[in-house]
Amino acid sequence: MTPACHTLRLVLGDQLNPGHSWFAQMDSQVVYVLMEVRQETDYVLHHAQKILAIFAAMRDFARQLRADGDRVRYVALNDASNRQSIPDNLAALAAHYRAQAVQWQQPDEWRLDAQLRDWAATQPLACEAVDSEHFLTAWGDLAALMHGRRQWLMEHFYRHMRRRHQVLLDAHGQPEGGQWNFDHDNRKPWPGTPPEPADWRPQHDHSALWAMIERAGVASFGAPQAAALRWPLNRAEALACLDAFISADCGVMHLAAATGTPTMGLFSTSSSAKYGPYGGSNTSVDTRDLGAADVAAIAADWLKATTAKPLHDNMACGKA
């Protein structure tokens, strides 16, 4: 008999974040559920590489969780028990594991959020949606900001967030350089020069996975490039492909440094001497007494010195 658990936790294909608070502590009574379902491959026609890259990343994430000691139930697209629906699979797995509760991270899509909420309303289980921890905003922030407005413009939200987090603002709260955005300039088409650079990212052979997807009858468009797909499998691999990484003090900053990516850490509250990235060309900047223009100038000088020589030959992604 399968060992019981008290909680199932659903992880969607765009929520493969090892830094989520769920994973801070292992609990043998929690089973993490990832599933490949026709519900998601078929609700709209997707590019072949999107389907392939997401499934490959999900499988890699499941491997990481198992390696860390977590309990994982991975429902592959061609599993005989796969009901090809997220709610139907959750109900079956909850019964299988004799779970008392089901949790999920808030989906980034309204369609999925509504589906899970509707399903939860019919269940005798304790159901809970938690923050995905993807964003600088809470779930209801946008609705609160736009409440009472006749128009909902992205520009209002964009400026609000710039002010809230003091991003590229001068001492008077105005945008550095005198403009809030350069959207008009960004609408110009690429003229063909400079030429497209060579793609030096690592290649992954997902031929077997793509063959399974095709056998299942999943429709798609575009070339899958399954034998040499260049999309990264996980965050560490993506970070390893960067020339350099600039970040506030956080887990991603340390992960970037650990992959060998030259890293600049920006510190405003914690100690740069204690928590700053070290080794190689890594550096830290205490920003408490600096303006945005000062920080930008320091970063520009560091980038120029750090990327003066080709980095790609020395990166992990150049050796894959």
Exposure string for 67-86, b = 16+ CB within 10 A, e = fewer = eeebbbbbbbbeeeebbbbb
Instruction: Quote the pLDDT of residue 183.
Output: 79
Chain CA centroid to CA 118, Å: 26
What three-state secondary structure class fits 67? helix
Residues 242, 244, 248, 249: what is their CA dihedral angle, to the nearest 10 degrees? 90
Give me the CATH code for the 7-130 domain, please.
Answer: 3.40.50.620
Going by C-alpha positions, the residue among 88, 75, 77, 84 that lies closest to residue 116 is 88
Contact 173, 291 (CB under 8 A): no
CA distance 116 to 113: 5
**Which pLDDT score, from 0 to 100, does residue 236 have?**
85
**pLDDT more than 90, % of the chain:** 57
C-alpha span between 172 and 161 (Å, rounded): 16
**What is the arithmetic mean of pLDDT over 241-268?**
85
Rounded distance between C-alpha atoms, residue 235 and residue 229, angstroms: 16
Q: Tens digits of per-residue pLDDT, 46-71? A: 999 999 999 999 999 999 999 999 99
Q: The tokens 């079956």 sit on which residue?
A: 92
Band (pLDDT 50/70/90 cuts) for residue 308 is low
Dihedral sign from CA coordinates of 75, 76, 78, 84: positive
Which pLDDT value is given to residue 270? 81
Mean pLDDT taken over the chain: 89
pLDDT at 179: 87
3-state secondary structure of 30: strand
pLDDT at 316: 34
b/e code 20-42 from CB counts within 10 Å (16+ = b)? bebbeeeeeebbbbbbbbebbbe
pTM of the full predicted structure? 0.78
**200: closest CA among 311, 56, 309, 57?**
311
Report which residue type is found at 83: R
The answer to whether 169 touches 162, Cβ cutoff 8 Å, is yes
Structure tokens at 39: 């519900």
Which range is least confidently modeled, 48-62, 168-182, 200-214? 168-182
Contact 17, 133 (CB under 8 A): yes
**pLDDT attached to residue 309:** 42
**Are 256 and 265 spatial neighbours (Cβ–Cβ below 8 Å)?**
no
How would residue 2 be classed by pLDDT, with cut points 50, 70 and 90? Answer: confident
Residue ranges of domains in the chain = 7-130, 141-186, 235-318
Is 156 exposed, middle or buried, given 0-12, 13-18 or 19+ CB atoms closer than 10 A?
middle
